[in-house]
Amino acid sequence: MRKLTQEDLTHLLDQKIFHLISEVADGLGMECYVVGGYVRDLFLERPSKDIDVVTVGSGIRLARAVAARLGAGAHLSVFNHFGTAQVKFHGHEVEFVGARKESYSHDSRKPVVEDGTLEDDQNRRDFTINALAVCLNRARFGELVDPFDGLWDLEDRLIRTPLDPDVTFSDDPLRMMRCVRFATQLNFYIDEETFEALERNRERIAIISRERVADELNKIMMAPTPSKGFVELSRCGLLPLIFPELAALEGVKKVNGRGHKDNLYHTLEVLDNVCLRSDNLWLRWAALLHDIGKPRTRRFDPVAGWTFHNHDFVGAKMVPEIFRKMKLPMNEKMKYVQKLVGLHMRPIVIADEEVTDSAVRRLLFEAGDDIEDLMMLCEADITSKNVQRKRRFLDNFRLVREKLVDLEERDRIRNFQPPVTGEEIMAVFGLKPCREVGVLKAAVKDAILDGVVPNEHDAAYAYLLRRAEELGIKPVAP
Protein backbone atom coordinates (compact mmCIF):
# COMPACT_ATOMS: atom_id res chain seq x y z
CA MET A 1 0.00 0.00 0.00
CA ARG A 2 1.22 3.49 -0.68
CA LYS A 3 1.14 6.24 1.90
CA LEU A 4 -0.79 9.17 0.50
CA THR A 5 -0.71 12.64 1.96
CA GLN A 6 -3.51 15.12 1.61
CA GLU A 7 -1.69 16.66 -1.36
CA ASP A 8 -1.24 13.26 -2.99
CA LEU A 9 -4.96 12.58 -2.80
CA THR A 10 -5.76 15.99 -4.18
CA HIS A 11 -3.31 15.31 -6.97
CA LEU A 12 -4.77 11.86 -7.75
CA LEU A 13 -8.23 13.37 -8.01
CA ASP A 14 -6.91 16.10 -10.26
CA GLN A 15 -8.93 14.84 -13.19
CA LYS A 16 -11.44 16.67 -15.28
CA ILE A 17 -14.30 14.47 -14.16
CA PHE A 18 -13.74 15.12 -10.43
CA HIS A 19 -13.35 18.88 -10.85
CA LEU A 20 -16.52 18.97 -12.85
CA ILE A 21 -18.51 17.01 -10.24
CA SER A 22 -17.03 19.30 -7.62
CA GLU A 23 -18.20 22.46 -9.38
CA VAL A 24 -21.65 21.11 -10.10
CA ALA A 25 -22.10 19.94 -6.49
CA ASP A 26 -20.92 23.31 -5.14
CA GLY A 27 -23.33 25.05 -7.50
CA LEU A 28 -26.21 23.02 -6.07
CA GLY A 29 -24.90 23.41 -2.52
CA MET A 30 -24.62 19.61 -2.13
CA GLU A 31 -21.99 17.83 -0.06
CA CYS A 32 -20.36 15.07 -2.10
CA TYR A 33 -17.65 12.39 -1.83
CA VAL A 34 -15.93 9.65 -3.82
CA VAL A 35 -16.41 6.55 -1.74
CA GLY A 36 -15.78 2.81 -1.45
CA GLY A 37 -13.77 0.63 -3.81
CA TYR A 38 -12.39 3.49 -5.90
CA VAL A 39 -10.77 5.16 -2.90
CA ARG A 40 -9.48 1.83 -1.53
CA ASP A 41 -7.91 1.04 -4.88
CA LEU A 42 -6.17 4.43 -5.05
CA PHE A 43 -4.25 3.45 -1.93
CA LEU A 44 -3.62 -0.07 -3.16
CA GLU A 45 -2.53 1.14 -6.61
CA ARG A 46 -5.03 -1.15 -8.24
CA PRO A 47 -6.64 -0.01 -11.46
CA SER A 48 -10.35 0.67 -11.07
CA LYS A 49 -12.70 2.26 -13.51
CA ASP A 50 -15.97 2.40 -11.55
CA ILE A 51 -16.33 5.55 -9.51
CA ASP A 52 -18.93 5.71 -6.73
CA VAL A 53 -20.05 9.16 -5.63
CA VAL A 54 -22.21 9.68 -2.58
CA THR A 55 -23.96 12.96 -1.89
CA VAL A 56 -25.95 14.21 1.05
CA GLY A 57 -29.21 14.71 -0.82
CA SER A 58 -30.48 13.24 -4.07
CA GLY A 59 -27.93 11.27 -6.08
CA ILE A 60 -30.21 11.44 -9.10
CA ARG A 61 -30.42 15.22 -8.94
CA LEU A 62 -26.64 15.55 -8.84
CA ALA A 63 -26.21 13.02 -11.66
CA ARG A 64 -28.66 14.90 -13.91
CA ALA A 65 -26.81 18.15 -13.33
CA VAL A 66 -23.42 16.52 -14.01
CA ALA A 67 -24.70 14.87 -17.20
CA ALA A 68 -26.21 18.18 -18.38
CA ARG A 69 -22.90 19.91 -17.79
CA LEU A 70 -20.97 17.22 -19.69
CA GLY A 71 -23.29 17.60 -22.68
CA ALA A 72 -23.41 15.28 -25.68
CA GLY A 73 -20.43 13.10 -24.69
CA ALA A 74 -22.20 11.83 -21.57
CA HIS A 75 -24.76 9.09 -21.15
CA LEU A 76 -27.14 9.16 -18.20
CA SER A 77 -29.11 6.19 -16.80
CA VAL A 78 -31.51 6.78 -13.93
CA PHE A 79 -32.64 3.97 -11.61
CA ASN A 80 -35.55 5.59 -9.79
CA HIS A 81 -36.34 2.42 -7.93
CA PHE A 82 -32.90 2.35 -6.30
CA GLY A 83 -32.52 6.13 -6.04
CA THR A 84 -29.30 5.94 -8.05
CA ALA A 85 -28.07 7.18 -11.41
CA GLN A 86 -25.09 6.44 -13.57
CA VAL A 87 -23.16 8.74 -15.86
CA LYS A 88 -20.89 7.28 -18.51
CA PHE A 89 -18.33 9.63 -19.90
CA HIS A 90 -15.10 8.94 -21.83
CA GLY A 91 -14.64 5.42 -20.45
CA HIS A 92 -15.53 6.51 -16.89
CA GLU A 93 -18.56 5.04 -15.16
CA VAL A 94 -19.72 7.18 -12.29
CA GLU A 95 -22.47 5.93 -10.00
CA PHE A 96 -24.32 8.59 -7.99
CA VAL A 97 -26.22 7.76 -4.84
CA GLY A 98 -27.71 9.78 -1.99
CA ALA A 99 -26.27 9.08 1.47
CA ARG A 100 -28.57 6.63 3.19
CA LYS A 101 -29.34 4.91 6.40
CA GLU A 102 -30.42 1.30 6.28
CA SER A 103 -32.31 -0.96 8.63
CA TYR A 104 -32.79 -4.66 8.05
CA SER A 105 -35.38 -7.25 8.94
CA HIS A 106 -34.42 -10.83 9.65
CA ASP A 107 -35.67 -12.64 6.56
CA SER A 108 -34.40 -10.45 3.76
CA ARG A 109 -31.23 -8.75 2.67
CA LYS A 110 -33.34 -5.86 1.34
CA PRO A 111 -33.19 -3.07 3.90
CA VAL A 112 -35.63 -0.29 4.64
CA VAL A 113 -33.81 2.79 3.39
CA GLU A 114 -34.06 6.40 4.50
CA ASP A 115 -32.02 9.50 3.73
CA GLY A 116 -29.00 9.89 5.96
CA THR A 117 -25.72 11.64 6.59
CA LEU A 118 -22.31 10.68 5.24
CA GLU A 119 -21.70 8.95 8.56
CA ASP A 120 -24.88 6.87 8.21
CA ASP A 121 -23.76 5.92 4.75
CA GLN A 122 -20.31 4.84 5.91
CA ASN A 123 -21.89 2.78 8.69
CA ARG A 124 -23.84 0.68 6.22
CA ARG A 125 -20.72 -0.30 4.24
CA ASP A 126 -19.33 -3.80 4.50
CA PHE A 127 -15.67 -3.35 5.47
CA THR A 128 -13.56 -0.56 6.90
CA ILE A 129 -11.39 -0.53 3.77
CA ASN A 130 -14.55 -0.04 1.69
CA ALA A 131 -15.86 2.80 3.83
CA LEU A 132 -13.24 5.43 2.96
CA ALA A 133 -14.60 8.67 1.52
CA VAL A 134 -12.82 11.61 -0.06
CA CYS A 135 -14.58 14.95 -0.25
CA LEU A 136 -15.01 16.56 -3.67
CA ASN A 137 -16.42 19.97 -2.64
CA ARG A 138 -13.98 22.68 -3.46
CA ALA A 139 -13.39 23.87 0.08
CA ARG A 140 -12.45 20.34 1.22
CA PHE A 141 -11.30 18.83 -2.09
CA GLY A 142 -9.21 15.70 -1.40
CA GLU A 143 -10.01 15.49 2.32
CA LEU A 144 -10.17 11.90 3.53
CA VAL A 145 -13.02 10.90 5.84
CA ASP A 146 -12.07 7.65 7.55
CA PRO A 147 -14.15 7.09 10.69
CA PHE A 148 -13.20 3.40 11.15
CA ASP A 149 -9.44 3.57 10.62
CA GLY A 150 -9.74 1.87 7.25
CA LEU A 151 -6.34 3.28 6.38
CA TRP A 152 -4.70 1.34 9.18
CA ASP A 153 -6.46 -1.78 8.03
CA LEU A 154 -5.19 -1.23 4.50
CA GLU A 155 -1.72 -0.99 5.94
CA ASP A 156 -2.17 -4.10 8.11
CA ARG A 157 -3.90 -5.91 5.25
CA LEU A 158 -7.00 -6.56 7.35
CA ILE A 159 -10.61 -7.19 6.40
CA ARG A 160 -12.76 -5.90 9.24
CA THR A 161 -16.36 -4.72 9.48
CA PRO A 162 -17.01 -1.13 10.58
CA LEU A 163 -19.71 -2.11 13.08
CA ASP A 164 -20.39 -5.28 15.07
CA PRO A 165 -19.61 -8.03 12.54
CA ASP A 166 -22.53 -10.17 13.74
CA VAL A 167 -24.89 -7.37 12.76
CA THR A 168 -23.11 -6.60 9.48
CA PHE A 169 -23.17 -10.26 8.36
CA SER A 170 -26.61 -11.09 9.67
CA ASP A 171 -28.11 -7.98 7.99
CA ASP A 172 -26.74 -8.92 4.60
CA PRO A 173 -25.13 -12.38 4.52
CA LEU A 174 -23.74 -11.75 1.03
CA ARG A 175 -21.09 -9.76 2.89
CA MET A 176 -19.69 -13.05 4.20
CA MET A 177 -18.90 -14.09 0.64
CA ARG A 178 -17.53 -10.62 -0.10
CA CYS A 179 -15.33 -10.88 3.00
CA VAL A 180 -13.67 -14.06 1.75
CA ARG A 181 -13.56 -12.69 -1.79
CA PHE A 182 -11.74 -9.48 -0.82
CA ALA A 183 -9.32 -11.43 1.39
CA THR A 184 -8.53 -13.61 -1.64
CA GLN A 185 -8.39 -10.87 -4.29
CA LEU A 186 -6.29 -8.52 -2.19
CA ASN A 187 -4.37 -11.20 -0.29
CA PHE A 188 -5.54 -9.73 3.03
CA TYR A 189 -6.24 -11.38 6.39
CA ILE A 190 -9.65 -11.64 7.94
CA ASP A 191 -9.67 -9.95 11.33
CA GLU A 192 -10.25 -12.42 14.17
CA GLU A 193 -13.56 -11.01 15.42
CA THR A 194 -14.83 -10.69 11.88
CA PHE A 195 -13.81 -14.29 11.21
CA GLU A 196 -15.60 -15.57 14.31
CA ALA A 197 -18.74 -13.80 13.12
CA LEU A 198 -18.41 -15.64 9.80
CA GLU A 199 -18.50 -18.90 11.73
CA ARG A 200 -21.48 -17.83 13.83
CA ASN A 201 -23.55 -16.42 10.97
CA ARG A 202 -22.76 -18.89 8.22
CA GLU A 203 -26.25 -20.44 8.18
CA ARG A 204 -27.62 -17.03 7.15
CA ILE A 205 -26.12 -17.58 3.70
CA ALA A 206 -29.32 -19.53 2.96
CA ILE A 207 -31.19 -16.28 2.18
CA ILE A 208 -28.73 -15.31 -0.57
CA SER A 209 -29.52 -16.27 -4.16
CA ARG A 210 -27.33 -18.88 -5.82
CA GLU A 211 -26.47 -16.43 -8.60
CA ARG A 212 -24.93 -13.98 -6.17
CA VAL A 213 -22.96 -16.69 -4.41
CA ALA A 214 -21.72 -17.94 -7.79
CA ASP A 215 -20.67 -14.37 -8.76
CA GLU A 216 -18.51 -14.16 -5.67
CA LEU A 217 -17.12 -17.66 -6.22
CA ASN A 218 -16.14 -16.69 -9.75
CA LYS A 219 -14.34 -13.63 -8.42
CA ILE A 220 -12.47 -15.88 -5.99
CA MET A 221 -11.67 -18.21 -8.90
CA MET A 222 -10.19 -15.32 -10.90
CA ALA A 223 -7.89 -14.19 -8.06
CA PRO A 224 -4.18 -14.98 -8.42
CA THR A 225 -4.31 -17.68 -5.71
CA PRO A 226 -7.90 -18.90 -5.37
CA SER A 227 -6.99 -21.66 -2.87
CA LYS A 228 -6.83 -18.99 -0.21
CA GLY A 229 -10.54 -18.30 -0.57
CA PHE A 230 -11.54 -21.94 -0.47
CA VAL A 231 -9.41 -22.55 2.61
CA GLU A 232 -11.18 -19.64 4.36
CA LEU A 233 -14.59 -20.88 3.23
CA SER A 234 -13.76 -24.27 4.65
CA ARG A 235 -12.31 -22.89 7.89
CA CYS A 236 -15.40 -20.83 8.68
CA GLY A 237 -17.81 -23.59 7.70
CA LEU A 238 -19.41 -21.85 4.71
CA LEU A 239 -18.05 -24.34 2.18
CA PRO A 240 -20.36 -27.28 3.02
CA LEU A 241 -23.34 -24.89 2.84
CA ILE A 242 -22.57 -23.39 -0.56
CA PHE A 243 -20.67 -26.25 -2.20
CA PRO A 244 -21.17 -29.58 -0.41
CA GLU A 245 -19.61 -31.63 -3.22
CA LEU A 246 -16.32 -29.76 -2.86
CA ALA A 247 -16.44 -29.86 0.95
CA ALA A 248 -16.84 -33.66 0.72
CA LEU A 249 -13.30 -33.86 -0.70
CA GLU A 250 -11.84 -32.73 2.59
CA GLY A 251 -10.35 -35.16 5.06
CA VAL A 252 -8.34 -38.35 5.17
CA LYS A 253 -9.88 -41.73 5.89
CA LYS A 254 -7.72 -44.40 7.45
CA VAL A 255 -8.08 -48.17 7.40
CA ASN A 256 -5.44 -50.29 9.12
CA GLY A 257 -3.36 -47.17 9.47
CA ARG A 258 -3.38 -46.50 5.71
CA GLY A 259 -4.68 -43.13 4.65
CA HIS A 260 -5.14 -41.45 1.27
CA LYS A 261 -4.19 -37.89 0.44
CA ASP A 262 -6.60 -35.10 1.38
CA ASN A 263 -8.40 -34.52 -1.88
CA LEU A 264 -9.51 -30.98 -1.11
CA TYR A 265 -5.96 -29.77 -0.49
CA HIS A 266 -4.72 -31.68 -3.52
CA THR A 267 -7.48 -30.09 -5.63
CA LEU A 268 -6.59 -26.61 -4.41
CA GLU A 269 -2.95 -27.19 -5.26
CA VAL A 270 -3.94 -28.23 -8.78
CA LEU A 271 -6.17 -25.17 -9.06
CA ASP A 272 -3.36 -22.80 -8.04
CA ASN A 273 -1.00 -24.57 -10.45
CA VAL A 274 -3.42 -24.00 -13.33
CA CYS A 275 -3.85 -20.37 -12.28
CA LEU A 276 -0.11 -19.79 -12.69
CA ARG A 277 -0.53 -20.60 -16.36
CA SER A 278 -4.04 -19.62 -17.40
CA ASP A 279 -6.69 -16.94 -16.84
CA ASN A 280 -9.38 -19.10 -18.37
CA LEU A 281 -12.15 -19.20 -15.74
CA TRP A 282 -13.54 -22.44 -17.10
CA LEU A 283 -10.19 -24.22 -17.12
CA ARG A 284 -9.93 -23.12 -13.50
CA TRP A 285 -13.36 -24.64 -12.83
CA ALA A 286 -12.23 -27.87 -14.49
CA ALA A 287 -9.26 -27.93 -12.11
CA LEU A 288 -11.56 -27.33 -9.13
CA LEU A 289 -13.86 -30.16 -10.21
CA HIS A 290 -11.37 -32.63 -11.66
CA ASP A 291 -11.53 -34.99 -8.65
CA ILE A 292 -15.11 -34.20 -7.60
CA GLY A 293 -16.07 -37.84 -8.21
CA LYS A 294 -13.60 -39.16 -5.64
CA PRO A 295 -15.79 -39.25 -2.52
CA ARG A 296 -18.42 -41.29 -4.36
CA THR A 297 -15.90 -43.81 -5.71
CA ARG A 298 -13.62 -44.25 -2.71
CA ARG A 299 -13.01 -47.92 -1.79
CA PHE A 300 -10.48 -49.65 0.39
CA ASP A 301 -8.86 -52.75 -0.98
CA PRO A 302 -6.60 -54.72 1.39
CA VAL A 303 -4.06 -55.25 -1.39
CA ALA A 304 -4.27 -52.13 -3.53
CA GLY A 305 -5.08 -49.76 -0.68
CA TRP A 306 -7.36 -46.77 -1.39
CA THR A 307 -8.81 -46.62 -4.89
CA PHE A 308 -11.05 -44.16 -6.71
CA HIS A 309 -11.92 -46.18 -9.78
CA ASN A 310 -13.92 -44.30 -12.41
CA HIS A 311 -13.82 -41.06 -10.45
CA ASP A 312 -13.20 -39.26 -13.76
CA PHE A 313 -16.34 -40.75 -15.26
CA VAL A 314 -18.47 -40.22 -12.14
CA GLY A 315 -17.06 -36.69 -11.78
CA ALA A 316 -17.96 -35.78 -15.37
CA LYS A 317 -21.53 -36.91 -14.69
CA MET A 318 -21.69 -34.64 -11.63
CA VAL A 319 -20.67 -31.50 -13.55
CA PRO A 320 -24.09 -30.62 -15.08
CA GLU A 321 -25.75 -31.32 -11.73
CA ILE A 322 -23.37 -28.95 -9.94
CA PHE A 323 -23.60 -26.23 -12.61
CA ARG A 324 -27.40 -26.33 -12.54
CA LYS A 325 -27.55 -26.13 -8.76
CA MET A 326 -25.03 -23.30 -8.54
CA LYS A 327 -26.66 -21.38 -11.42
CA LEU A 328 -23.52 -21.50 -13.49
CA PRO A 329 -24.10 -21.41 -17.26
CA MET A 330 -25.56 -24.62 -18.70
CA ASN A 331 -23.98 -24.04 -22.09
CA GLU A 332 -20.78 -24.95 -23.93
CA LYS A 333 -18.74 -23.75 -20.93
CA MET A 334 -20.29 -26.49 -18.82
CA LYS A 335 -19.70 -29.02 -21.61
CA TYR A 336 -16.06 -27.97 -21.77
CA VAL A 337 -15.60 -28.43 -18.02
CA GLN A 338 -17.37 -31.76 -18.19
CA LYS A 339 -15.14 -32.92 -21.02
CA LEU A 340 -11.92 -32.00 -19.22
CA VAL A 341 -13.07 -33.65 -15.98
CA GLY A 342 -13.98 -36.80 -17.93
CA LEU A 343 -10.66 -36.90 -19.77
CA HIS A 344 -8.30 -35.81 -17.01
CA MET A 345 -6.97 -39.31 -16.27
CA ARG A 346 -6.22 -40.17 -19.88
CA PRO A 347 -2.87 -38.43 -20.40
CA ILE A 348 -1.75 -39.70 -16.99
CA VAL A 349 -2.58 -43.28 -17.89
CA ILE A 350 -0.79 -42.88 -21.21
CA ALA A 351 2.23 -41.32 -19.54
CA ASP A 352 2.28 -44.05 -16.92
CA GLU A 353 2.57 -46.77 -19.56
CA GLU A 354 4.21 -46.80 -22.93
CA VAL A 355 3.31 -43.72 -24.95
CA THR A 356 1.88 -45.37 -28.08
CA ASP A 357 0.75 -43.62 -31.26
CA SER A 358 -2.62 -45.24 -31.01
CA ALA A 359 -3.34 -44.01 -27.46
CA VAL A 360 -2.23 -40.48 -28.30
CA ARG A 361 -4.31 -40.45 -31.50
CA ARG A 362 -7.43 -41.44 -29.55
CA LEU A 363 -6.74 -38.78 -26.96
CA LEU A 364 -6.40 -36.14 -29.67
CA PHE A 365 -9.60 -37.34 -31.30
CA GLU A 366 -11.59 -37.06 -28.07
CA ALA A 367 -10.10 -33.82 -26.75
CA GLY A 368 -10.17 -31.98 -30.10
CA ASP A 369 -9.33 -28.29 -29.74
CA ASP A 370 -9.27 -28.57 -25.96
CA ILE A 371 -6.19 -30.80 -25.98
CA GLU A 372 -3.86 -27.98 -24.93
CA ASP A 373 -6.04 -27.11 -21.93
CA LEU A 374 -6.32 -30.77 -20.99
CA MET A 375 -2.54 -31.18 -21.02
CA MET A 376 -2.20 -28.06 -18.88
CA LEU A 377 -4.69 -29.49 -16.37
CA CYS A 378 -2.89 -32.84 -16.28
CA GLU A 379 0.51 -31.27 -15.75
CA ALA A 380 -0.96 -29.20 -12.92
CA ASP A 381 -2.38 -32.42 -11.46
CA ILE A 382 1.09 -33.87 -10.76
CA THR A 383 1.43 -32.70 -7.17
CA SER A 384 3.52 -35.66 -5.99
CA LYS A 385 6.18 -34.65 -3.50
CA ASN A 386 8.34 -37.53 -4.74
CA VAL A 387 10.76 -35.73 -7.02
CA GLN A 388 11.64 -38.77 -9.13
CA ARG A 389 8.02 -39.70 -9.67
CA LYS A 390 7.12 -36.16 -10.61
CA ARG A 391 10.05 -35.96 -13.03
CA ARG A 392 9.04 -39.24 -14.70
CA PHE A 393 5.46 -38.05 -15.27
CA LEU A 394 6.49 -34.68 -16.58
CA ASP A 395 9.02 -36.29 -18.93
CA ASN A 396 6.36 -38.64 -20.22
CA PHE A 397 3.96 -35.73 -20.69
CA ARG A 398 6.62 -34.06 -22.79
CA LEU A 399 6.70 -37.23 -24.89
CA VAL A 400 2.91 -37.16 -25.20
CA ARG A 401 3.08 -33.53 -26.33
CA GLU A 402 5.76 -34.31 -28.93
CA LYS A 403 3.69 -37.18 -30.26
CA LEU A 404 0.63 -34.95 -30.37
CA VAL A 405 2.42 -32.49 -32.62
CA ASP A 406 3.84 -35.25 -34.77
CA LEU A 407 0.52 -37.09 -35.21
CA GLU A 408 -1.37 -33.89 -35.78
CA GLU A 409 0.90 -33.11 -38.72
CA ARG A 410 0.73 -36.60 -40.15
CA ASP A 411 -2.89 -37.55 -39.57
CA ARG A 412 -4.89 -34.39 -38.93
CA ILE A 413 -6.86 -36.22 -36.23
CA ARG A 414 -8.03 -33.16 -34.32
CA ASN A 415 -11.72 -32.51 -35.13
CA PHE A 416 -11.46 -35.54 -37.31
CA GLN A 417 -14.49 -36.85 -39.19
CA PRO A 418 -14.01 -40.39 -40.52
CA PRO A 419 -13.47 -40.18 -44.32
CA VAL A 420 -16.20 -42.74 -44.94
CA THR A 421 -19.59 -41.40 -43.83
CA GLY A 422 -22.66 -43.26 -42.61
CA GLU A 423 -24.52 -42.21 -45.80
CA GLU A 424 -21.83 -43.73 -47.96
CA ILE A 425 -21.93 -46.97 -45.97
CA MET A 426 -25.72 -47.19 -46.35
CA ALA A 427 -25.47 -46.57 -50.09
CA VAL A 428 -22.70 -49.12 -50.66
CA PHE A 429 -24.43 -51.92 -48.77
CA GLY A 430 -28.03 -50.93 -49.50
CA LEU A 431 -28.77 -50.51 -45.79
CA LYS A 432 -31.31 -48.36 -43.94
CA PRO A 433 -30.05 -46.75 -40.70
CA CYS A 434 -29.36 -49.78 -38.48
CA ARG A 435 -26.87 -51.33 -36.09
CA GLU A 436 -24.62 -52.67 -38.87
CA VAL A 437 -24.03 -49.16 -40.19
CA GLY A 438 -22.85 -48.09 -36.73
CA VAL A 439 -20.61 -51.14 -36.38
CA LEU A 440 -18.94 -50.57 -39.76
CA LYS A 441 -18.51 -46.86 -39.15
CA ALA A 442 -16.91 -47.48 -35.73
CA ALA A 443 -14.62 -50.13 -37.24
CA VAL A 444 -13.30 -47.62 -39.79
CA LYS A 445 -12.83 -44.94 -37.12
CA ASP A 446 -11.00 -47.35 -34.79
CA ALA A 447 -8.74 -48.57 -37.59
CA ILE A 448 -7.71 -45.00 -38.34
CA LEU A 449 -7.18 -44.09 -34.70
CA ASP A 450 -5.18 -47.29 -34.17
CA GLY A 451 -3.00 -46.41 -37.14
CA VAL A 452 -3.99 -49.55 -39.07
CA VAL A 453 -5.37 -47.45 -41.91
CA PRO A 454 -4.28 -43.94 -42.99
CA ASN A 455 -6.76 -41.11 -42.60
CA GLU A 456 -7.78 -41.01 -46.31
CA HIS A 457 -10.90 -41.96 -48.18
CA ASP A 458 -9.63 -44.67 -50.52
CA ALA A 459 -7.69 -46.58 -47.89
CA ALA A 460 -10.60 -46.32 -45.47
CA TYR A 461 -13.01 -47.47 -48.16
CA ALA A 462 -10.91 -50.54 -48.96
CA TYR A 463 -10.78 -51.35 -45.26
CA LEU A 464 -14.55 -50.97 -45.03
CA LEU A 465 -15.09 -53.56 -47.78
CA ARG A 466 -12.76 -56.02 -46.06
CA ARG A 467 -14.46 -55.62 -42.67
CA ALA A 468 -17.91 -55.98 -44.24
CA GLU A 469 -16.90 -59.17 -45.95
CA GLU A 470 -15.67 -60.61 -42.64
CA LEU A 471 -19.05 -59.74 -41.12
CA GLY A 472 -20.93 -61.23 -44.07
CA ILE A 473 -22.36 -57.90 -45.25
CA LYS A 474 -22.41 -57.71 -49.06
CA PRO A 475 -22.26 -54.59 -51.18
CA VAL A 476 -25.18 -54.03 -53.58
CA ALA A 477 -24.25 -54.46 -57.24
CA PRO A 478 -22.98 -51.15 -58.72
CB of 262 to ligand ATP, least distance (A): 31
Residue 83: contacted member of Mg ion, ligand ATP, none (CB under 5 to 8 Å, by partner type): none
Question: 339-342: long-range contacts at Cβ-Cβ below 8 A with a sequence spacing of 24 or more?
Answer: 339/367, 339/370, 340/283, 340/286, 340/290, 340/370, 340/373, 340/374, 340/377, 341/286, 341/289, 341/290, 341/292, 341/293, 341/312, 341/315, 341/316, 342/312, 342/313, 342/315, 342/316
Residue from 15, 46, 50, 211 that binds Mg ion (CB under 5 A)?
50
Site membership for Mg ion, residue 454 (CB under 5 A): no
Angle between helices 210-221 and 174-186 (to 10 degrees): 10
CB of 218 to ligand ATP, least distance (A): 11
Secondary structure of residue 86 in the 3-state scheme: strand
Residue from 175, 228, 339, 441 that binds ligand ATP (CB under 6 A)?
175
User: Per CB under 6 A, which region of 65-73, 171-179, 238-246, 397-405 contacts ligand ATP?
Assistant: 171-179
In angstroms, what CA-CA distances link 110 with 242, 326, 362? 21, 22, 54
Residue from 12, 28, 31, 37 that binds Mg ion (CB under 5 A)?
37
Q: How far apart are CA 450 and CA 124, in angstroms?
A: 65
Residue from 125, 204, 361, 362 that binds ligand ATP (CB under 6 A)?
125
User: Per CB under 6 A, which region of 6-14, 167-175, 197-205, 461-469 contacts ligand ATP?
Assistant: 167-175
Residue from 22, 86, 130, 194 that binds ligand ATP (CB under 6 A)?
130
Q: How far apart are CA 429 and CA 474, in angstroms?
A: 6
Question: 402-406: long-range contacts at Cβ-Cβ below 8 A with a sequence spacing of 24 or more?
Answer: 403/355, 403/357, 403/360, 404/360, 404/363, 404/364, 404/371, 404/375
Site membership for ligand ATP, residue 126 (CB under 6 A): yes
User: Per CB under 5 A, which region of 49-57, 76-84, 192-200, 363-371 contacts Mg ion?
Assistant: 49-57
Site membership for ligand ATP, residue 173 (CB under 6 A): no
Site membership for ligand ATP, residue 36 (CB under 6 A): yes
Secondary structure of residue 152 in the 3-state scheme: helix
Site membership for ligand ATP, residue 194 (CB under 6 A): no
User: Per CB under 5 A, which region of 35-43, 247-255, 268-276, 466-474 contacts Mg ion?
Assistant: 35-43
Secondary structure of residue 141 in the 3-state scheme: coil
Site residues for Mg ion per CB under 5 A: 37, 50
Site residues for ligand ATP per CB under 6 A: 36-37, 50, 52, 125-126, 130-131, 172, 174-175
